[in-house]
Structure 1
Amino acid sequence: MARPLSASKMVEILRAEGLTVHEVRSWRTHNRNTKGSWGPVNGVMIHHTVTSGTAASVGICYDGYPGLPGPLCHGVIDKKGHVHLVGNGRANHAGLGDGDVLHAVVNESGLPPDNEADTDGNRHFYGFECVNLGDGKDPWPEVQKEAIEKVAAAICRHHGWSERSVIGHKEWQPGKQDPRGFTMDGMRTRIAERLGGRDGARGGTDPEPKPRPKPSYEPFPGSGFFHTGQTSPVITAMGRRLVAEGCGRYESGPSPEWTEADRRSYAAWQHKLGFTGEDADGTPGKASWDKLKVPRPRH
């Protein structure tokens, strides 16, 4: 969970990743914020446009169409691997999806089946439309797939997310099939390799998903660890787990710094477990920490 990127920061991180970025018309102020909340953001969602041609696809994604006003995403990735930014803020791209999927994205855990449409995805996800007919025949040039990888990695790196914060529309909303033509597991593998400092897969087909190791949880660091001024990735990981458990009391974040919002969130977790009095004052104890199962952060 994080505060959305500003327009300037979005351009900065995408260009720093080596992408060619085009700023379309008044994209910096083009959004649907008057129709609902934008943020906190939790992940990146990938789509295909069901259109052909860069100019036409970018125009539709900027303007929308009758019944669904634009922007229809934040950026369009064309077949040359260029990124066309069309919106900054809430965009009509994700629609209602499965709240259990959102919890998994926040927790960066395995995705459950998307069998419900009960959560507003336009609030929580950056959306990128990729120019492709989505018929299973229209090719995906390697430069386009590499651009998808770079876009997602740049945003994840900025927010401190892993590849598990990147999903396809088909993994969010029942009945959707986009993106069609490559696997999201394969794309997440590429993103993970880029985030890990390697160049990512470059073959013509997606690599087979690698077996994932059993989760490694952060051992209880002791109650004295949690104090004003303490900064650690462990605190960010803890906050994400609290949000996933429905106990988040953050207006923005969580962040690596221990704050009053962390204390209130942890107190909510302690109350959820049935603790009361001093045992629910928001200072982590070993029993509640072990039940929270905080993933060991990547240092």
Structure 2
Amino acid sequence: MATPLSAAKTLAALKAEGLTVHEHEGWRTHNRDAATGKKFGPVIGVLIHHTAGHNDRELCFRGRTGLPGPLCHAWLGKTSGLWLLGHGRANHAGAVDLDVLNALRAEKPLPHDDQANADGNDCLYGLEIENLGNGRDPYPDAQYRQAVLWAAALCRAHGWSEKSIAGHKEVQPGKIDPSFDMDDFRAAVRKQLARKPGGAATTPVTTKPGKATKPRVDLSRLVSAAKTDPGARQGHVTYMTGTNLTEAALVKLGYLDKTYAGDGSFGTTTVAAYAKWQRHLGYGGSDADGIPGKISLSRLGERTGLFTVVA
């Protein structure tokens, strides 16, 4: 654990790593510390995201309804470069798996994220990378390289290795960002840390992300959630990862309001929304009861591009 870098030291570390840094007006005092009553830090690592959109720097600075900004500490555009948007607590990580945080703290291999029982906003720096995140939107070489330098700069400043870096999809069940391979990304940071900051690369650095990988939804576990959660106590969670991914897909297609998504519980509203999806596919009667089947779930994953299905 470490004390967060001051605004001045953050800026100096990034520039020393060879980055051109743009400063958004007000970034040095833009944070959620006072509003939440929770001070940022100690810090244990850095978290990588994609924005799932384009031209969203100001959105990440201001925030959106129900989620005030800043939504990250830094935003990295496709062609606009690196922008500092906040300093202090930011709304980027949300509820994450405590086991994963402990692994980042100890710089050990990351376990599977199957819980959301800790606040990642307390202890993680966040970078949002401008990208649709659909596996078809490329990350320009220069943009990916800048992301590597951003992560390396913070790790170097704190004396961390690349093992203090995670993707959002590795810490919070149901998340899919960033849409590139994090092991490849960490390997690139490791190479950067082996050099002097700002020094030219002596060996090629991988700047092109590998093929995007999609999370998997276990059909049998999701069916169990759909049958168990509606009648369970409020807040009961049977299968958080699969439920969150399914709800995200239903939201994307307009079958579920986003206010009912993301809590990990496959409740009655989700069952009703899934039944609408089944009817859209032509099912009726008991075949459109809101309990996922392999064909309907597979088509939901294919249509939205959010996940694949395992039986």
Q: Which AA in structure 1 matches 2:205?
A: A
Matches within 5 A, 1:1-299: 1-34=1-34, 35=36, 36-53=38-55, 57-80=56-79, 82-180=81-179, 182-197=180-195, 199=201, 201-202=205-206, 204-206=208-210
Deviation at 1:92, TM superposition (A): 0.1
**Could you tell me whether the CA contact under 8 Å between 1:81 and 1:144 is conserved in 2?**
no
**1:206 CA drift (Å):** 4.5
Alpha-carbon distance in 2 for matches of 1:91, 1:67: 14
Partner Cα distance (1:18, 1:46) in 2? 19
Mapped contact 1:81–1:147 kept (Cα < 8 A): no
For residue 291 of structure 1, what is the aligned residue in structure 2? Answer: none
Does the C-alpha gap of structure 1 residues 90 and 204 become closer, same or farther in structure 2, counting only changes over 3 Å? closer
SS in structure 1 of the partner of residue 39 of structure 2: coil
Kindly indicate whether the alpha-carbon contact (under 8 Å) linking 1:164 and 1:188 is maintained by their aligned counterparts in 2: yes
Call closer, same or farther: CA 1:205–1:177 in 2, change over 3 Å: closer
Q: What letter corresponds to residue 128 of structure 1 in structure 2?
A: L
Shift of 1:13: 0.8
- The answer to whether the 8 A contact 1:81-1:145 is kept is no
> What is the alpha-carbon distance in structure 2 between the residues aligned to residue 84 and residue 203 of structure 1?
20
Q: Is the 8 A contact 2:97 2:118 kept in 1?
A: yes
| 2:232 matched residue in structure 1 | none
The code of the aligned residue for 1:99 comes to L
What SS does the aligned partner of 1:45 have? strand
Instruction: Specify the SS of the correspondent of 1:139.
Output: coil
TM-score, normalization: structure 1? 0.66
What whole-Å deviation, never above 9, does each CA across 1:158-208 have from its counterpart, x for those lacking one?
10000010100000100000001x20000000000111118362464549x
> What SS does the corresponding residue of 1:150 show, helix, strand or coil?
helix
CA RMSD of aligned residues (A): 1.5
Percentage of matched positions with identical amino acids: 50
Cα distance, 1:43 vs. partner? Answer: 0.2
Instruction: Report if aligned partners of 2:144, 2:208 keep a CA contact under 8 Å in 1.
Output: no
Counterparts in 2 of 1:131 and 1:203: CA distance versus 1, 3 Å: closer
Equivalent pairs counted in the alignment come to 203
TM-score, scaled to structure 2: 0.63
CA distance in 1, matches of 2:61, 2:112: 31
Q: 1:22 to 1:116 in 2, by over 3 A?
A: same
Q: Is the 8 A contact 1:81 1:143 kept in 2?
A: no
The secondary structure found in structure 2 opposite 1:59 is helix
* Amino acid paired to 2:14: L
Any unmatched runs of 5+ in structure 1?
208-299
User: 1:194, 1:129 → 2: CA distance?
Assistant: 20
Question: Where do 5+ consecutive residues of structure 2 fail to align?
Answer: 212-311
What is the letter of the counterpart of residue 26 of structure 1?
G
The superposition leaves residues 241-287 of structure 1 with CA deviations (integer Å, 9 ceiling, x where unpaired) of xxxxxxxxxxxxxxxxxxxxxxxxxxxxxxxxxxxxxxxxxxxxxxx
* Residues 59, 94 of structure 1: alpha-carbon distance in 2 compared, 3 angstrom cutoff: same
Q: What is the CA distance between 1:111 and its match in structure 2? A: 0.4
Q: Is the 8 A contact 1:31 1:70 kept in 2?
A: yes
Contact 2:46 2:165 in 1 (8 A): yes
Once the two structures are TM-superposed, the CA of residue 37 in structure 1 deviates from its matched residue by 2.7
